[in-house]
């Protein structure tokens, strides 16, 4: 499942590897007289062969080699990150992408890939920042654009939900009854009240006909009347009464 989810990431990784490998070869060949850079061949061969264990061994050695060329180190980090992704080790992949972007902050593919990992972990603000950064570098980056839009919509929806948390179905500024004031003062009771109101509206809307809808409304009116009369009386449990009402509205299966 994880392999499918991150297939696009791995494909992007392979493209970067191929391009960077060519650049690294050119850099190494252009500096005669200097001590030769560390050989990246074993790491690249392991990556091309899809040998995960060798990638971790050979590419890790290259990453830690002070003589490794910058482009080779980038390639090795990306190759190792792709293995971490397929193994579900998101934190380690993100750490490698962090280093890649320190070495070359212009890689939009890597920003997008890191953003996908952040989103998978539930780190939405970090993910959104990565997708936005990728789009600034490449406004035509289709995957980053799609990811940014989807996440922005998700954050907007979550924000709307958070805006009503702890608020009942009625205006607390107009609350006059003691039971209403108690509901307004308790976020859990307020949430219960809002859920009851929403579930009641749904069952009325889905009623088989006008007569059934009227019967459901009478049932709700009776609940509210009993709630108002019972609150403050010995033995009356407002929270339990509200929970029972919500269960009745939603049914035993919760719908």
Residue range 224-239: average pLDDT?
93
Q: Are residues 99 and 74 in the same domain?
A: yes
Residue range 220-246: average pLDDT?
93
Q: Are residues 76 and 6 in the same domain?
A: yes
Per-residue confidence (pLDDT) for residue 9, from 0 to 100: 46
Residues in the chain: 255
Q: Are residues 160 and 177 in the same domain?
A: no
What is the spatial distance between Cα 126 and Cα 69, in angstroms, rounded to a whole number? 29
What sign results for the dihedral spanned by CA atoms 211, 213, 215, 218?
negative
Per-residue confidence (pLDDT) for residue 155, from 0 to 100: 77
Residue range 110-120: average pLDDT?
95
Residue range 101-128: average pLDDT?
94
Q: Give the number of domains in the chain.
A: 3
Is residue 255 in some structural domain? no
How buried is residue 148: exposed, middle or buried, by Cβ count under 10 Å (0-12/13-18/19+)?
buried
For 56-113, what is each residue's pLDDT tens digit?
999 999 999 999 999 999 999 999 999 999 999 999 999 999 999 999 999 999 999 9
Residue 1 has pLDDT above 90, yes or no: no
* pTM score above 0.85: no
Is residue 126 in some structural domain? yes
Residue 146 has pLDDT above 90, yes or no: yes
- Is the separation of the CB atoms in 15 and 78 below 8 Å? no
Token pair recorded at residue 86? 């397929």
What is the spatial distance between Cα 125 and Cα 160, in angstroms, rounded to a whole number? 16
CA atoms within 13 A on the CB side of 3: 2
Token pair recorded at residue 82? 């792709």
DSSP annotation of 122 reads T
């Amino acid at each position: 499942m994880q392999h499918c989810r991150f297939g696009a990431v791995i494909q992007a990784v392979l493209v970067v590897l191929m391009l960077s490998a060519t650049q690294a070869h050119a850099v190494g060949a252009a500096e005669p007289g200097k001590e030769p850079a560390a050989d990246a061949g074993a790491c690249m061969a392991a990556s091309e062969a899809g040998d995960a264990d060798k990638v971790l061994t050979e590419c890790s050695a290259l990453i830690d080699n002070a003589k490794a060329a910058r482009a080779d180190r980038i390639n090795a980090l990306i190759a190792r990150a792709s293995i971490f992704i397929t193994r579900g080790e998101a934190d380690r992949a993100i750490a490698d992408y962090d280093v890649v972007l320190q070495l070359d902050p212009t890689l939009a593919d890597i920003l997008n890939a890191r953003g996908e990992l952040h989103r998978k972990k539930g780190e939405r603000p970090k993910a959104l920042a990565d997708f936005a950064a990728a789009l600034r570098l490449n406004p035509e980056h289709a995957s980053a654009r799609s990811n940014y839009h989807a996440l922005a919509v998700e954050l907007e929806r979550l924000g709307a939900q958070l805006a009503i948390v702890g608020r009942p179905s009625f205006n607390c500024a107009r609350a006059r009854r003691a039971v209403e004031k108690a509901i307004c003062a308790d976020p859990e009771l307020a949430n219960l009240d809002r859920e009851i109101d929403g579930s009641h509206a749904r069952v009325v809307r889905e009623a088989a006909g006008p007569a059934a809808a009227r019967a459901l409304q009478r049932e709700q009116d009776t609940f509210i009347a009993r709630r108002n009369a019972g609150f403050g009386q010995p033995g009356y449990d407002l929270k339990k009464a509200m929970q029972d009402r919500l269960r009745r509205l939603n049914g035993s299966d919760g719908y």
